[in-house]
Structure 1
Amino acid sequence: MRAAPTILHLDMDAFFAAAEQAAKPSLRGKPVVVGGLGPRGVVATASYEARRFGVHSAMPMGQARRLAPNAAYLVPRFAFYRAISEQVMELLGRLSPLVEPLSLDEAFVDLEAGGAADDGASARATGERLRRDILAATGLTGSVGLAGSKMIAKIASEEAKPDGLVLIEPGTERALLGPKSVRILPGVGPATGEHLRRAGMTTVSDLAEAGEDELVRLLGRSHGASLYRMAQGYDDRAVVAERDAKSVSVEDTFDVDLHDRVRIRTEVERLAERCVRRLRGSGHSGRTIVLKVRRFDFSTLTRSETLRGPTDDPVVVREAASRLLEAVDTTGGVRLLGVGVSGLADYTQEDLFAQAAEPSSAAHVEVEAPEAEAPAPEAPAERRWAPGHDVRHAVYGAGWVQGSGVGRVTVRFEVPGSAPGRVRTFLVDDPELEVGEPLPLVGRADGAAAVAQQGCARPSAGLGVP
């Protein structure tokens, strides 16, 4: 625990939704919900305007639509969010060599290690400057918490939301935590919270008064002792610059349960390919292949196979995942499939490449045959025009999909920094309409200049008041 509040926690405000509002001028100040749009989709992020209707992250999308029927519902654009995240993380890196990213929109920073702060006044000044720099670079806002420990800094940033800064002086942690719900502490989820409630503990002060022995009796040695320390406001975890990945995985939830065994196998192979792309992108290989299957009754099965050595060969991973599928009963239907690789390493076992290379032509036939036989809905997948996706028209320039159906797609033509754009409707197979690339956000200071840089083929036709 530090004597000065030199640990900073940054949490971007409603990140995915705010990024979409910044990229789509017509959505600014309006309720925006980002997430899976299918029948089983869930909310990833809701803008603050949507939260006023009761919409929140992890809520089923169907419930969100009932609460806020007039909100804009968009699919996530993770490549776009990652690009913004890199800008923000670069700003954090200028403050200290010790930056610990937790997600695309959240990170801890050790200000003391970078010489950016050594007391409360300098920490506050650094935090305020960071918020201004983020706004200037991206046009987005972030909330900052400053404290003498990671746990309290994170709690402070939550209290600062939205678009604020809260500094908690070391030595005041117990007074701050005492009246708060036990759910504010890391590791206390719904199940643990209910278990503690039944034992008569609903606030953090209740935990502190109960004592370590009682918490160990209720929750076990490790969890009970850890929770007691946190209830005292004690957290001596260091900010760690490198967080080693333990596994890489991908998964898909299907709108309708899959029953056809060939389709299930094809989906597993497709997930294996995606997993390997992510694995290679992280610069790793792995030894253990994991298959996850959630069945129609919500029961979840996992199967794994450990190889002789680490690999990042898509054929090896695909074949291992297919073998694991053979041992799983999919009778009744499958609602979710996932493929992962664990036991990560920074090198690849060469003999596994050789092993995969021998039957490569046979493996090709196995994989290609189902794709050739399948009906072609997947072929034009990129032309399904999902709401929120970027497009470009030969005449009207850059825009984004507002919606599609009955053979038509509606596009609003606008770019970051522009005025709200006009809406136009096209046939889904219009040859002049194509998938576009996300345009970078612009800061508050140079938004006007960015419009000219982004440019449309015919701006006067594509921009204007709707």
Structure 2
Amino acid sequence: MRAPLYRQIFTGVVFHINGYTQPSHYELKKLLIERGGQFLHYLSKSQVTHIIASNLSHSKEKEFRNYRVVRPEWVVDCVQADRLISWHSYRLIGSKNMGAPVVPLNIDELGPQGGLAANIRQENPVIECSVPTKQAISRSCEQKGIRTSTHRKSAVVDRFGEGLNREWVRRNLATESDFIPRYYENSRLHHLSTWKSEMKDYVAQLRREYGKGTRSVLCGRRVIMHVDFDCFFVAVSLLSFPHLKNMPVAVCHTQQHAQLDGRGPQEDMPEYFTGHSSQIASCNYAARSFGVKNGMFLGQAKQLCSALATVPYCFDAYKRVSKSFYEIVTRIADETQAVSVDEALLDVSDVIYRQYEGNANALAQDIRRRVLEKTECAVSIGIGPNILLARLATIKAKPDGVCGLDASTFYNMNLGVRDLPGVGHVVEKSLIHNGISTVADIRSAPISRLKDICGDKTAMLLFNFSRGIDDRMLASDKLRQAFGADIGWGVRFSNQHEVDDFILRLAEEVCRSMAAFNRTGTLVTLKIKKRREGQGKPEKFLGHGICDNISKSASLIQMTNDHVQISSSCIKLLHGMAIDPLDIRGVGIHVQQL
């Protein structure tokens, strides 16, 4: 590997540029990235270490008051000194020249004696950075109200040699009092489930703002579009890492990223945790060409593609891009259903004739253009007379394209049974066991045979889907039917008291969400992942591994969102399961009948 041209003085610095600056936005990015820095296109509260700005409005000053906000001259001086110098003399918030005019600065004039940087150094002498001691960190945390461990805790029972008594590992176990908020801050699955519910509520809000009512089909023909981002997590993350755009890239948690966001020093991590047990959340098409897939462990992916680059999650950016996306499609479509953070179903049966002369392709290309201009990310669009065919059309549209699909074309497609919605692993296995492996096989099978294999309801669904029939309507304004929280990482308990305490804290999290939407419920369900007999250390670091899933429900006395009542019911359900606390690998609490 070729050595870098410059000393990597900005290694560990994650920066965001706000507003107009001199040197320019482009020049600052170039200086920082060439010397080891990372740039975030969108501001991420959990990742950014420095914000670079020449002036701030009063609202921005309030918003950024807890950040290191520095003038561009700090970057220039660091480059000229060829080392990272203290930011304090260049801080913008609280400085006397707050909001001062931007002074043009030519980075080409930088030299040993020169330019504006030298003049600034005369006024603000360079202060060397120092590494704080553990005692200083502890004092700082106490002043900020952050709990630190100063006493020796009782040992964690570690039956399978997972290193559970290492300091860094213990800080990331479910028994820690601040584990749940930290877990949710970094959990992709939690963000996905939360965003899905939030986007449904956001779409309902946007429909009211845009005056969207119940549609009336002008021509009697339904036109459904399925709009889906291409490699969403990678595409958004690469906005902050533009130099990786043409390389194979994956988004996942790694040891390197953990060091950057302060989740633990390298020397304190378990020896076997090198990031190879991290699962890939998303990978771009360049990585997929090597056989890398979503959900694959990073170690395996690196064997397939040694040049694979990894980037961290940018949760704030994902949410921001998703909201912009839904603002665009909700304004255009007659009906909008939020499917997830990166995909939506649109009913455009009226607008296509009102504004696009019945040309579905023209409307799809207009949506793609608007989304690309607003988010800098590409979407693919499938078009069909119903939800089923629109979804299947999207598969053919990817990447970065548009495809229409009608019933006649659908009949000629070579599809496996798993390609149909509602067919999971169990149904697929039952069908294949009975000699049915393709959609064509389902079409050929009598409905009575399908009912014998998978029951009346599923059989009828498959019978219709195999013929391209789907009468499902979009659910634009459907309220959330349940609130819940599931955690399946870092769950290691040594006794029953620790489990009960965790359930109480998890119930608090669920009830906090319910209270935010002013919702109550009367049915609570407790879900437990129990380590399967014979299973030892899981392949994924602190993951749940292979488990048996157990769930029980109980009716509450009254409609409530009180965490004490809900946790009490869950603890009773847990005690009735009689599960050894050492075997619990995951816990979930769900409240229904809202």
What TM-score range do you get, normalising by the shorter chain?
0.5 to 0.7
Larger Rg: 2
User: What residue number does 2:237 align with?
Assistant: 20
Give secondary structure in 2 for the equivalent of 1:91.
helix
Q: Which one of the candidate residues 292, 295, 311 is aligned to 2:560?
A: 311
Question: C-alpha distance in 2, partners of 1:249/1:43?
Answer: 25
- The equivalences for 1:259-408 within 5 A come to 259-297=494-532, 298-328=547-577, 329-344=579-594
User: What residue number does 2:361 align with?
Assistant: 124
Give secondary structure in 2 for the equivalent of 1:81.
helix
Question: C-alpha distance in 2, partners of 1:104/1:330?
Answer: 37
Question: C-alpha distance in 2, partners of 1:39/1:324?
Answer: 37
| Aligned AA (1:123) | A
| Aligned AA (1:324) | L
The worse-fitting range, judged by mean Cα deviation, of 156-165 and 73-82 is 73-82
Give secondary structure in 2 for the equivalent of 1:94.
helix
- 2:491 touches 2:586 (CA, 8 Å); kept in 1? no
Question: C-alpha distance in 2, partners of 1:112/1:206?
Answer: 32
Give secondary structure in 1 for the equivalent of 2:281.
strand
CA deviation after TM superposition for structure 1 residue 104, in Å: 1.0
Question: C-alpha distance in 1, partners of 2:465/2:357?
Answer: 22
User: In the alignment, is residue 110 of structure 1 matched against residue 330 of structure 2?
Assistant: no
CA deviation after TM superposition for structure 1 residue 239, in Å: 1.9
Question: C-alpha distance in 2, partners of 1:261/1:4?
Answer: 60
User: In the alignment, is residue 246 of structure 1 matched against residue 481 of structure 2?
Assistant: yes
Q: Tell me: CA distance 1:269–1:283, structure 2 relative to 1, closer, same or farther (3 Å).
A: same
User: What residue number does 1:226 align with?
Assistant: 461
| Aligned AA (1:195) | S
Q: Tell me: CA distance 1:31–1:86, structure 2 relative to 1, closer, same or farther (3 Å).
A: same
| Aligned AA (1:340) | H
Question: C-alpha distance in 1, partners of 2:591/2:290?
Answer: 40
Q: Which one of the candidate residues 365, 386, 394 is aligned to 1:157?
A: 394
Q: Tell me: CA distance 1:304–1:67, structure 2 relative to 1, closer, same or farther (3 Å).
A: farther
CA deviation after TM superposition for structure 1 residue 264, in Å: 2.6
Identity %: 27
| Aligned AA (1:244) | L
Q: Tell me: CA distance 1:139–1:41, structure 2 relative to 1, closer, same or farther (3 Å).
A: same
Q: Which one of the candidate residues 418, 428, 442 is aligned to 1:193?
A: 428
CA deviation after TM superposition for structure 1 residue 120, in Å: 8.8
Query: Gapped runs of 5+ residues in structure 2?
Result: 1-216, 255-274, 533-546
- 1:5 touches 1:119 (CA, 8 Å); kept in 2? no
Q: Which one of the candidate residues 282, 290, 303 is aligned to 1:45?
A: 282
User: In the alignment, is residue 93 of structure 1 matched against residue 93 of structure 2?
Assistant: no
Measured against aligned partners, the alpha-carbon deviations of 1:23-52 in whole angstroms (never above 9, x if no partner) come to 332432333333465787543322223323
Measured against aligned partners, the alpha-carbon deviations of 1:198-231 in whole angstroms (never above 9, x if no partner) come to 3222222222122322222222211112111111
CA deviation after TM superposition for structure 1 residue 277, in Å: 2.9
Query: Gapped runs of 5+ residues in structure 1?
Result: 345-466
User: What residue number does 1:449 align with?
Assistant: none
Higher strand share: 1
Q: Which one of the candidate residues 388, 404, 408 is aligned to 1:172?
A: 408
Question: C-alpha distance in 2, partners of 1:229/1:199?
Answer: 19
Question: C-alpha distance in 2, partners of 1:290/1:66?
Answer: 41
- 2:251 touches 2:312 (CA, 8 Å); kept in 1? yes
RMSD: 2.9
The worse-fitting range, judged by mean Cα deviation, of 289-298 and 249-258 is 249-258
CA deviation after TM superposition for structure 1 residue 20, in Å: 0.9
- 2:276 touches 2:298 (CA, 8 Å); kept in 1? yes
Give secondary structure in 2 for the equivalent of 1:82.
helix
CA deviation after TM superposition for structure 1 residue 272, in Å: 1.9
Question: C-alpha distance in 2, partners of 1:330/1:186?
Answer: 37
| Aligned AA (1:242) | D
- 2:499 touches 2:581 (CA, 8 Å); kept in 1? no
Question: C-alpha distance in 2, partners of 1:305/1:60?
Answer: 37
CA deviation after TM superposition for structure 1 residue 3, in Å: 7.3
Q: Tell me: CA distance 1:60–1:243, structure 2 relative to 1, closer, same or farther (3 Å).
A: farther
TM-score, with structure 2 as normaliser: 0.53
Question: C-alpha distance in 2, partners of 1:63/1:16?
Answer: 20
Q: Tell me: CA distance 1:218–1:289, structure 2 relative to 1, closer, same or farther (3 Å).
A: closer
- 1:250 touches 1:340 (CA, 8 Å); kept in 2? yes
User: What residue number does 1:59 align with?
Assistant: 296
Give secondary structure in 1 for the equivalent of 2:553.
strand
Measured against aligned partners, the alpha-carbon deviations of 1:226-278 in whole angstroms (never above 9, x if no partner) come to 11111111112122212332212112223464333333333323322222233
Question: C-alpha distance in 2, partners of 1:125/1:186?
Answer: 28
Measured against aligned partners, the alpha-carbon deviations of 1:418-465 in whole angstroms (never above 9, x if no partner) come to xxxxxxxxxxxxxxxxxxxxxxxxxxxxxxxxxxxxxxxxxxxxxxxx
| Aligned AA (2:561) | D
Give secondary structure in 2 for the equivalent of 1:23.
coil
Question: C-alpha distance in 2, partners of 1:274/1:44?
Answer: 25
- 1:212 touches 1:228 (CA, 8 Å); kept in 2? yes
Question: C-alpha distance in 2, partners of 1:281/1:301?
Answer: 29
Question: C-alpha distance in 2, partners of 1:319/1:68?
Answer: 50
TM-score, with structure 1 as normaliser: 0.66
Give secondary structure in 1 for the equivalent of 2:480.
coil
- 1:40 touches 1:253 (CA, 8 Å); kept in 2? no
Q: Tell me: CA distance 1:176–1:150, structure 2 relative to 1, closer, same or farther (3 Å).
A: farther
Measured against aligned partners, the alpha-carbon deviations of 1:83-105 in whole angstroms (never above 9, x if no partner) come to 22111111111122410111111
Q: Tell me: CA distance 1:5–1:166, structure 2 relative to 1, closer, same or farther (3 Å).
A: farther
